[in-house]
């Protein structure tokens, strides 16, 4: 099953890093966050990737064209400096197609730009390239495939922020206040799966989640998989620090390939 990754955004809320490199290449530990995501999909047997490029897309191309497994691994040198790495072929089975989809294109337009590469795919996956999770992808796909009426599916996750959810009645009185993490409040966690029929719902210029998904909702054809396990996105520099701290402590729940 092909995996479309949206890699074209400017990451304006992460300017400390994305001012010099594209957001998908911001490292978590010694590897870019997008490598961790692609490794997750590959672990589940999905190694055919389509990268929708935009801002500094040439740097993403260069990363994979000049890929060296030893940059993020323990290794030894011998025989006059020859590098010997046990997992030097850790991405050899990945098939990556790079597509420049515009500097300012939204997600819906980036998806339309690679429509021709998905014409033979009854079902395909798509995701933002700045988040990590240990969601049971096989179970999620199984449930989606059972929903023959569903055109698209998303993973619904709990927000991790420390905000409080406030309910207010028409008189302006607060009727309930509670942390969003414990309330019945879910956000779009990505890990999108779609049938090819999705292209019948997207018009030129439209953002995928806004207009097309709203049409699916009105027809009851948008599926959500509620997941309470680990999920986190790198949206701000604070998120970057959190990922680095977790990696430094060996707390890497998204690395399901090491479990």
User: Residue range 142-159: average pLDDT?
Assistant: 92
Share of the chain above pLDDT 70, in %: 83
Residues 42-79 pLDDT 10s: 999 999 999 999 888 898 888 888 766 545 555 556 65
User: Could you tell me the sign of the dihedral formed by the alpha carbons of 116, 207, 3, 145, in that order?
Assistant: negative
* Max Cα-Cα span within the chain: 79
Residues 18-30 pLDDT 10s: 467 888 999 998 8
pLDDT, mean over the chain: 85
Residue 13: which pLDDT band, with cuts at 50, 70 and 90? Answer: low
Residues 79-125 pLDDT 10s: 565 555 555 556 768 899 999 998 888 999 999 999 999 999 999 99
Residues 198-211 pLDDT 10s: 999 999 989 999 99
Q: For residue 17, what pLDDT is reported?
A: 52
Rg of the chain on CA atoms, in Å: 20
**Class of the domain covering 3-258:** alpha beta
List the alpha helices (DSSP H) in 66-210. Answer: 107-113, 137-146
Residues in the chain: 259
DSSP 103-140: SS--HHHHHHHTGGGGTT-SEEEEEESSEEE---HHHH
């Amino acid at each position: 099953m092909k995996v479309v990754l949206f890699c074209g955004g400017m990451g304006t809320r992460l300017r400390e890093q994305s001012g010099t490199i594209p957001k998908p290449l911001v490292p978590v530990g010694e590897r870019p966050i997008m490598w961790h995501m692609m490794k997750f999909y590959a672990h589940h047997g999905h190694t055919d990737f389509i990268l929708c490029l935009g801002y500094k897309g040439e740097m993403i191309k260069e990363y994979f064209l000049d890929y060296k497994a030893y940059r993020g691994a323990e290794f030894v040198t011998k025989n006059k400096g020859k590098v010997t790495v046990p997992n030097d072929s850790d991405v050899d089975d990945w098939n990556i197609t790079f597509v420049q989809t515009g500097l300012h294109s939204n997600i819906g337009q980036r998806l339309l730009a690679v429509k021709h590469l998905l014409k033979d795919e009854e079902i395909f996956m798509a995701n933002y390239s700045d988040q990590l999770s240990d969601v049971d992808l096989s179970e999620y796909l199984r449930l989606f495939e059972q929903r023959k009426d569903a055109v698209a599916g998303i993973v619904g996750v709990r927000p991790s922020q420390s905000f409080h959810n406030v309910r207010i009645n028409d008189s302006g009185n607060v009727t309930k206040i509670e942390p969003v993490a414990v309330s019945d409040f879910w956000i779009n966690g990505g890990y999108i799966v779609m049938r090819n029929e999705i292209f019948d719902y997207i018009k030129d210029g439209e953002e995928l989640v806004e207009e097309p998904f709203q049409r699916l909702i009105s027809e009851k054809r948008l599926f959500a998989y509620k997941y309470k396990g680990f999920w986190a996105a790198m949206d701000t520099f604070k998120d970057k620090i959190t990922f680095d701290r977790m990696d430094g402590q060996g707390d890497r729940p998204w690395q399901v390939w090491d479990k």
